[in-house]
Amino acid sequence: MAADDIERLRRIYDAFDRRAVDDLLADLAHDMEWRAPDTLPWGGHRHGPEGVRTMVECLDEHVDGGWGDPDDYLDAGDRVIVLGRLRGTARATGATFEAAFAHVWTLGDGMPVACDVYLDTGAVLKAIGRG
């Protein structure tokens, strides 16, 4: 796993937490594929810059706080697995939540081309009033 790959992913998490979407998009491939659990309002399959932008906007409608706190970056060949915790407050209910996640980033030519989100959705859905 190249140090540049890890640095790029750290910038992505930082940009997401700041809701700096243009900074986030600068570190993603133009044909980025984002896949998250369909049960989440911001979930589903998103494609390209507009798909990522829409996902961030939808998340922001429902959650106040950061996107996630990465704990570990694991080398998996052309993938990097990031383990961490999503922490936030549901805007509709004021309930706080914490949920473990695994983000599987696929890299192509040094750029993230896909992210598959695995998340304990139960705690999140309960907090936002959908569980």
CATH number of the domain at 30, please. 3.10.450.50
Q: How far apart are CA 27 and CA 85, in angstroms?
A: 21
CA–CA separation, 124 vs 11, rounded Å?
Answer: 24
pLDDT tens, position by position, 15-28: 998 889 999 999 99
Q: Which domain holds residue 46?
A: 3-127
How many distinct structural domains can be found in the chain? 1
Residue 66 has pLDDT above 80, yes or no: no
Share above pLDDT 90 across residues of the chain, in percent, rounded to a whole number: 85
